[in-house]
Copies of this chain bind each other. A is one copy, B any other.
Amino acid sequence: MARPDLRRNDEMRKVKITPNYTMYAEGSVLIEMGNTKVICTASVEDKVPPFLEGQGLGWVTAEYAMLPRATNTRKKRDIKSLKLDGRSSEIQRLIGRALRAVVDRAALGERQITIDCDVIQADGGTRCAAITGGFVALWLACKKLLQDGVIETMPLTNHVSAVSAGIFEDEAILDLCYAEDSHAIVDCNIVMTGTGEFIEIQGTGEGRPFTKEELNKLISLGKKGTGKLCRDQKRITGELGK
């Protein structure tokens, strides 16, 4: 089996993270994974949601959306149907959980950082790109808070990145593009720290159930992929000193 772009099964697409992509946000990046392009911005606000007020803890949350023509067929804007797309809802909850897992919320203090992930062009793996890019936007915003003397220690305790792996025609492959993703029989998104632990794993049998052996293969690919992505992140962030 040859992959559409002739990659090896365990080979990722070209990754490019452009920091400070927009001029207003406290942190921003454009992340490209092959043809998938996502703008991630981090916006800092000096207040937290009501359920956290007065506890001295911060909050990180995420929103995810696609431009109408990020995909092959134009997708109606959510505001037209007055409903947040169910898939977007599921994805932005995942991004928020993934990023919060490496935040020292006491060190962040009583402020909220919102990570907006807007997909300019979608060719598979947008939620993973959003997590990987979102982390860098979050880091840029935290660094700014540090440099401005608003906080005293870097509130990020580890790197986070995410990648997809899947079973396609009975082979395990890494970082699926849309053509692969839409025909994969098993699809797995793996979110890992910079030190190789799991933050979240979601594996789904799209075409058929799957075995423990298959899951293990996907996890190995995921570990390899996220390791590569964390090295890419570190070219911008360096090691996370306190």
Contacts and interface: CB of A to CB of B under 8 A. Distances in A.
Interface string A72-100: 10100111001110110110110001000
A202 B202 contact: yes
Interface string A44-65: 0100000000000000000101
Interface residues of A, number: 59
Contacts of A23: 35, 121
A64 to B, nearest CB: 10
A69 interface: yes
Nearest to A121: B22
Given A90-B93, A97-B204, A204-B200, A43 B69 contact: yes
A201 interface: yes
A120 to B, nearest CB: 7
15 contacts: A25-B69, A41-B67, A43-B69, A63-B68, A63-B77, A67-B116, A74-B114, A79-B84, A82-B82, A89-B90, A193-B209, A197-B209, A198-B215, A200-B202, A200-B203
Interface of A: 22-25, 28, 35, 39, 41, 43, 45, 63, 65, 67-72, 74, 77-79, 82-84, 86-87, 89-90, 92-93, 97, 101, 114, 116, 118, 120-121, 158, 192-193, 195, 197-206, 208-212, 215, 219
